Structure 1
């Protein structure tokens, strides 16, 4: 089996990309505390929404149904991963009419937390347009911040386009009727990790991974874009194909003297420790100008690994689109197979 694992880093400049509950008419950004330190963050749910919204216009999105009211209301997608890429990769739960079908996520994303503490500031504003003379303005405020946010990512490649049809509880992804429809449309019956399933044709599975990688390269979104427009595509992305589900690269971005730093020594040691699990080079997409001259320093520090092909540096868009090309062309078809099936 093969997983694409690694790290995604966002560069937020004077932004408020993900907001929590307002207090005293002050819009709050999401933030967590570690001791006395404040770390703004973007939730995994928000980032996944950005990804979904950034999919190509022609890509089918799973429709959402909302029902009930008050504490008994619920919202759910169609639960048809055979028809919709977002149901396939992001997962779902549909529980209606005494039936329950669900899919655990295939594309897992962590919370994007500020690498170093950053206390958000409040931007004070007023509304007085067209008020008569002497009227007091309406006062409002909201938080914003500048920070480098980092989160983990994992894509379980053998599960892309493969949907469980037996087992118990949420392990059953499709109803018998939906599974039969998928088979009639070209899917085949199979077994994945000791569970019966249906599998889409390999060409469609390749296409879905190709699509999500290209979408990640140009993801856009976030709250308050009218006031704080900014780039939300990865400033740095690290991806590696790993035979197991462990992500060894969670600590490649750290803090030093209050500044975010790329830790080349950590990357080197992790590559050595997990060499038997790696299935290909570690790909590092790094936007020019991000973190000053650290990119050039990292390339020099890892020169031997770069020369041997164990580490590949490039622009995030070039790295992600290049990987999408190779997967789409069938160069990595073995990654979609699971020997334990």
Structure 2
């Protein structure tokens, strides 16, 4: 059964507005943040598209992004990437739909993400602002407002390791990933034709597949960006990230964080029970990156309560950057090549 890196990431937003919503006429000159209500309570959130864009923009300059192609105009205008996952890591990991008059090629995403929703209910604050600089004497200032909040946003993640660097052409796929000419070019460049999960496609060499996964993990460790960076600059790397190699791609770690009397709590017993329940399909160590200071002293308490799992090598708890870079290095050097096998 195929292996996925599955888990969750938590962003510690301090007085930030990383993903703005759409204002309405009745709100006036106000820029809202994205938020939803459930159970009569308000939860700020960041969309999956926002987080994926921030991650994509955080890729190092050494990794050339897929060029954007724009066709048509007005209501018929279209934009899409070049659709060459053999050449560009972002086309490989994030997917695309490249549609022209003559052909359509598409790739489903390899990196699945959930919506990043506040763990605890939080009501955004409205910040009142004015623009009065340089206005003539007697002129009224221009009024505007925007929202921001302090919250921990959590979202689920899943990386399909089997599909990294594998581009389906025939089988249970809606559209081929590559054109016939692109297939020829990829084969000349060192790719091979294989069958995986019943689909025939083009496979990159293992060295490049390792590199791309390592690049993704290292980028997770150094994410930056989001909206309102000038007025609400802050850390956008995960304050907590959990990744586990699991066969089948299930997500058993959704409930390790929850609010208790208004405070966010990490539940070691929940993590312990999930690790035990899914032991038959866990293909290695569970990696938990946890920034010091996030959730107060709960990190050290969790280390103490889960010490037997740590000692047994079933769980690692360390700084998110250390966890992600060490896992990236292990994958890049071939220690986990079995994770890429069908």
> Do they superpose with TM above 0.5?
yes
Question: What SS does the corresponding residue of 2:151 show, helix, strand or coil?
Answer: strand
Q: Which residue of 2 aligns with 1:74?
A: 78
1:11-62: CA deviations, max 9, x gaps? 0000000011123110010111113111111111111111111111010100
How many angstroms does 1:169 deviate by?
Answer: 5.7
Q: Is the 8 A contact 1:93 1:170 kept in 2?
A: no
Unpaired segments of 5 or more residues in structure 1?
A: none
Q: Which residue of 2 aligns with 1:9?
A: 10
Q: Which residue of 2 aligns with 1:103?
A: 107
Q: Is the 8 A contact 2:83 2:91 kept in 1?
A: yes
- For 2:117 and 2:202, the matched residues in 1 are separated by 37
Question: What SS does the corresponding residue of 1:165 show, helix, strand or coil?
Answer: strand
- For 1:171 and 1:322, the matched residues in 2 are separated by 36
Q: Which residue of 2 aligns with 1:36?
A: 40
- Between 1:83-92 and 1:68-77, the stretch displaced more is 68-77
Q: Which residue of 2 aligns with 1:194?
A: 198
Q: Which residue of 2 aligns with 1:275?
A: 279
How many angstroms does 1:168 deviate by?
Answer: 6.3
TM-score, reference length from structure 2 = 0.97
How many angstroms does 1:218 deviate by?
Answer: 0.5
Is 1:84 aligned to 2:88, yes or no? yes
Q: Is the 8 A contact 1:6 1:152 kept in 2?
A: yes
Q: How does 1:129-148 map to 2 (within 5 A)?
A: 129-148=133-152
How many angstroms does 1:91 deviate by?
Answer: 0.4
- For 2:189 and 2:82, the matched residues in 1 are separated by 17
- For 2:86 and 2:186, the matched residues in 1 are separated by 6
Is 1:331 aligned to 2:331, yes or no? no
Q: Is the 8 A contact 2:104 2:175 kept in 1?
A: no
Moved over 4 A (4+): none
- For 1:79 and 1:37, the matched residues in 2 are separated by 42
Q: Which residue of 2 aligns with 1:298?
A: 302
Q: How does 1:177-326 map to 2 (within 5 A)?
A: 177-326=181-330
Count of residue pairs the alignment pairs up: 338
- For 1:227 and 1:210, the matched residues in 2 are separated by 32
Instruction: Determine which of 153, 175, 180 is the counterpart of 1:176.
Output: 180
How many angstroms does 1:244 deviate by?
Answer: 1.1
Question: What SS does the corresponding residue of 1:213 show, helix, strand or coil?
Answer: helix
How many angstroms does 1:140 deviate by?
Answer: 0.4
Q: Is the 8 A contact 2:171 2:198 kept in 1?
A: no
Question: What SS does the corresponding residue of 2:217 show, helix, strand or coil?
Answer: helix
Q: Is the 8 A contact 2:172 2:199 kept in 1?
A: no
- For 1:90 and 1:336, the matched residues in 2 are separated by 18
Q: Which residue of 1 aligns with 2:125?
A: 121
Q: Is the 8 A contact 2:11 2:154 kept in 1?
A: yes
How many angstroms does 1:171 deviate by?
Answer: 4.3
TM-score, reference length from structure 1 = 0.97
Is 1:46 aligned to 2:46, yes or no? no
Unpaired segments of 5 or more residues in structure 2?
A: none
Q: Is the 8 A contact 1:165 1:176 kept in 2?
A: no
- For 1:184 and 1:170, the matched residues in 2 are separated by 25
